[in-house]
Structure 1
Amino acid sequence: MKIFSKEQIYLGDKLTAEKQGITSTELMERAGTQIFNWLHTRMQGAQVPIHVFCGIGNNGGDGLVIARHLITHGYNVHTYVVNCSDKRSKDFLNNYDKIKTVTKKWPTLLSCKEDFPQIAKEDVIVDAVFGIGLNRPIDDWVKALFQHFRMTGAFTLSIDMPSGLFSDKVPKDEDAVVWANHTLSFASPKIVFFLPDTAKYTQQWEILDIGLDPEFLYTTITEAELIGKYEVMPIYKPREKFAHKGTYGHSLIIGGSYGKIGAVTLASRAVLAIGAGMVTSYVPKCGYIPLQSSFPETMVITSDDENIISNINLDFAPNAIGIGTGLGKDKKTVSAFKELLKSNKSSLVIDADAINILTENKELLKLVPENSILTPHAKELERLVGKWEDDFDKLNRAKKFANDYNIVLVVKGANTITIYKDRLFINSTGNPGLATAGAGDVLTGCITGLLSQGYDAVSAALFGIYLHGKSADIAIERYGYQSLIASHVINYLNEAYMDLFKQPEQPQVQQEE
């Protein structure tokens, strides 16, 4: 799903009006009607007080359309205009005139704290104050209004995005933003729904189709894209009937040190569970017996040292290499990693201590092959790109780093973001259960195993991240968040694959007797 910028949304509105021969007021009517339909379907005429707060721009115009339809359908509606400026948009004024034709109770003008209405916890608030165009700090009394919303505990529905939230930067004052229970967004979600600093302002979001021009939606290239089931299905490579293990590649997992052989075991198991034909684990000598006894499907090669990887000598050419899980940062290990970077011809996934080695030996970065995949968690990313001010600064720094070295950068976390050539791919799967030891090792194995099967670097990253998260989503149905462990993610990768082609259940129609 594409994530359009505010500039693209403005352009889409304009093109839609031109191509469909409608006015911007008519497009606003369409948007507001869709929101009313959403509310009407759920409320079914219930006489709960609905408080519709409208700004004086186009978002406020949407609110007036919603209020008008609620009124004409007999709901208990209270409409307010948040008088935060002397300027009114044309479409706001058109809809202000329209609402006066359906009720003698005109919208109440709010200009200060003394005007705030009483709202009960059982009421509903519709927030249509500010939309995507907000670009300045709000007045103190409007901030107090948003705090009033929150203190009531009433269900709050925001239109397009929570008011006070900017589309392209992090607000400095969280009290100056509406904290929504649900947001109905037009055409596409907003990138702020997926960033740690800003996702907290809406508990849930949903997209409404307001009939924007199909050609615009299809042909417009966006910086960001949300990756879900229907985005990864075309990536999937089906199995061939007469294939053999060599068809699906030979992966090499390099890592482990004394006490951390489990990390390599998890990554190696994930390689095969994701579909690679073969996997070899390259570990220090202390890892030989643990791997051979706990995971018989892997082949094992050991380094010369008992407790660390001190050299990497290969007698075969793997299709893909994943390095870093449990690796450690001993001087001999650093030297071995450097020699591998100099000689390697295979696709490369760099994780954990291999990333930490790069950050402590920046001269090695120029040896990293183009299109390599780096998978840092937040602290590892900070060591790579430096400290950031907020999530947008983080993304800008990460994009620059990915471009400077022409690599695929996987920014791990909730809504893991993959960055390649200035494009952002935001993952839609996964849950808090993945905050567990070894989950990152499993992801390294998933991506490495897909590379072995011939997936290109970006596809391997996106597909591996999606399946990893989906497996965790399926696993928590049995284990819950707290009891999920990394091995469960491996164990449910089969169901994540099968879910790709599972048809949605059709509602059963009861036959009349």
Structure 2
Amino acid sequence: MKIFSAPQIYEADKITTERQGISSLELMERAATQIFNWLHHRMQGAQVKIHIFCGIGNNGGDGLVLARQLVIHGYNVDTYVVNCSDKRSKNFLANYDRMKTDTKSWPTLLKEGDALPEIGKDDIIVDAIFGIGINRCPADWVIHLMQGLNNTGAYIVSIDIPSGLFPDKMPENPDAVIKAGYTLSFQTPKLVFFLPQTGHYTEQWEVLDIGLDRQYLVETKTAHELIGKHEVLPIYQPRKKYAHKGDYGHSLIVGGSYGKIGAVQLASRAALTTGAGLVTAYVPKCGYDSLQTALPEAMVITDKEEEEITQIKYKIDPIVIGIGMGIGTGKKTKIALAGFLKENRKPLVVDADALNIMGADKTLLDLLPANSVLTPHPGELERLVGKWKDDFDKLEKTQAFAKKYQLIITIKGANTITVSPSSMYINVTGNPGMATAGSGDVLTGMITGLVSQGYDPLQAAVFGVYLHGAAGDLALEGRGYQAVIAGDIIGHIGAAYVNLFKQPEQEQQPNGGEEQTG
């Protein structure tokens, strides 16, 4: 699903009215009717008190259309206009007049100094104060009103975007934003729904199709795309009947140090379970017995040293190399990694301490093959790209970094984001139970296993992140967030593959939320 920017949404509105021969007022009526249908379907006429707070722009116009339709259908509605400016949109004014004409009810005008209306905890608030057109922090009295709404305890439904939240930058005042229980977003989700600093302003969201011009939606390229099941299905490569293990590549997993051999075991097992034909682990000598015992399906090569990797030399010819998990940052290991990078020409998936070594010596980044996949958590990312002032700055810096070195970066966390030099892909699978030791090692192994099978590195990163989160969601069943461990994620990779081809009613339903990887 594409995530359109605010200017693109305005352009879509304009093109829709031109091509469909309708007015912007008619388009507003259509959009707000979808909000009404959503509420009406769930409430079925229940006489819960509904308080609709409208601004004086087009978002407020949506709120007035909704109020009119709810009143006509017999709902218990109080409507308020937050009089925050002398300027009013034409569509707001038209719907203000129509509400008075059609319902004989007059919205209550709220101005500076007015008390917050009485709202019960069992009531519903509809937030239609500000939409995506907001360009500055609201006035102090409006902020006070919004904080009052947040503190009522009533359930809040926001129209299109929680009021006070900008679609493309951080709010100037974190307290000047409505905290919605549900946001009903027109045609496309908003990028701010998926970033750590802004995602908490809406607990849930849903996209409502308001019939914007299909040709424009299909043909317009966006900087961000939401990745779900329908987006990854075309990536999937089916297996041929007469295939053999050599057809699915040989993955080399390089890492481990004394006490951290488990990271290599997890990555190797994940690569095999994701479908790599062969996997070899390269570890210090201390990892030999445990790997051969715990993972008999993998082959093992050891360094000459007992407790750390001091050279990376092998006689096999792998398709792809996953490197860094548990490897440590000792002096000898740093020298070994630098020597390896100077000689290596194979595709790489780089994680953990290999990233930290590169963050400390950025000359090593120039040695990475184009389209290498880096899988940092936020701390590792900061060492690579530098400090950022907010999540938007983080994405900008990461994309500039990806473009400079021609890399693919997966920023691990809730809604893991895969960044290429030209696009960003936001994942929808995963849950907080995945915030556990080894989860990131599993992801690195999965991406390595996909590249091994012939997936393009960007496809492997996007698909691997989706499968990783989907497996984590399935692992939740009967466990709960606290009990999920990295091995559980590996154990559900197969089910995640199977779920790709099930109809919605057949799918195993996880208790999932958002992806967080260690």
Bin of the TM-score, shorter chain as denominator length: over 0.9
Q: 1:498 Cα deviation (Å)?
A: 0.1
Q: Any idea what SS the aligned residue of 1:185 has? A: strand
Counterpart amino acid of residue 241 in structure 1: K
Aligned partner of 1:344 in structure 2 is 344
Deviations 1:56-76 (A, max 9, x none): 000000000000000110111
Give unpaired runs (5+ residues) of structure 1.
Answer: 507-513
1:381-396 equivalent positions in 2, closer than 5 A: 381-396=381-396
Q: 1:447 Cα deviation (Å)?
A: 0.3
Structure-1 separation of matches of 2:505 and 2:430? 22
Q: 1:442 Cα deviation (Å)?
A: 0.4
Q: TM-score, normalised on structure 2?
A: 0.97
2:415 aligned with 1:415? yes
Aligned length: 506
Deviations 1:389-444 (A, max 9, x none): 11001111111111110000111100000000231100110100111000000001
Aligned partner of 1:510 in structure 2 is none
Q: 1:164 Cα deviation (Å)?
A: 0.3
Q: 1:361 Cα deviation (Å)?
A: 1.1
1:299-310 equivalent positions in 2, closer than 5 A: 299-310=299-310
1:96-495 equivalent positions in 2, closer than 5 A: 96-495=96-495
Name the Cα RMSD after superposition. 0.8
Structure-1 separation of matches of 2:304 and 2:424? 41
Deviations 1:460-493 (A, max 9, x none): 0001110010000001012211000000000000
Q: Any idea what SS the aligned residue of 1:192 has? A: helix
Q: Any idea what SS the aligned residue of 2:125 has? A: strand
Deviations 1:225-265 (A, max 9, x none): 00000000000000110000000000000000000000000
Q: 1:504 Cα deviation (Å)?
A: 2.1
Structure-2 separation of matches of 1:435 and 1:139? 39
Structure-1 separation of matches of 2:362 and 2:222? 32
Counterpart amino acid of residue 295 in structure 2: F
Deviations 1:261-310 (A, max 9, x none): 00000000001000010000000000000100111000000011010000
Structure-2 separation of matches of 1:12 and 1:135? 20
- Checking the alignment, whether the CA contact within 8 Å between 2:274 and 2:493 is kept in structure 1 is yes
Q: Any idea what SS the aligned residue of 1:313 has? A: coil
Question: Which has the larger displacement, 166-175 or 59-68?
Answer: 166-175
Q: Any idea what SS the aligned residue of 1:478 has? A: coil
Counterpart amino acid of residue 55 in structure 1: G
- Checking the alignment, whether the CA contact within 8 Å between 2:346 and 2:369 is kept in structure 1 is no
Question: Which has the larger displacement, 115-124 or 205-214?
Answer: 115-124
Structure-2 separation of matches of 1:172 and 1:244? 57
Give unpaired runs (5+ residues) of structure 2.
Answer: 507-518
Q: 1:505 Cα deviation (Å)?
A: 2.0
Q: Any idea what SS the aligned residue of 1:122 has? A: coil
Structure-1 separation of matches of 2:341 and 2:200? 41
Structure-2 separation of matches of 1:116 and 1:336? 66
Q: TM-score, normalised on structure 1?
A: 0.98
Q: Any idea what SS the aligned residue of 1:482 has? A: helix
Structure-1 separation of matches of 2:391 and 2:447? 25
Q: Any idea what SS the aligned residue of 1:281 has? A: strand
Q: Any idea what SS the aligned residue of 1:505 has? A: coil
Aligned partner of 1:53 in structure 2 is 53
2:18 aligned with 1:18? yes
Structure-1 separation of matches of 2:137 and 2:128? 17
Q: 1:115 Cα deviation (Å)?
A: 4.0
Structure-2 separation of matches of 1:140 and 1:120? 24
2:22 aligned with 1:2? no
- Checking the alignment, whether the CA contact within 8 Å between 2:99 and 2:105 is kept in structure 1 is no
Counterpart amino acid of residue 452 in structure 2: S
Q: Any idea what SS the aligned residue of 2:242 has? A: coil
- Checking the alignment, whether the CA contact within 8 Å between 1:433 and 1:480 is kept in structure 2 is yes
Aligned partner of 1:31 in structure 2 is 31
Structure-1 separation of matches of 2:172 and 2:282? 48
Deviations 1:127-164 (A, max 9, x none): 00000010111011110111111111001000000000
Q: Any idea what SS the aligned residue of 1:288 has? A: helix
Counterpart amino acid of residue 338 in structure 2: K
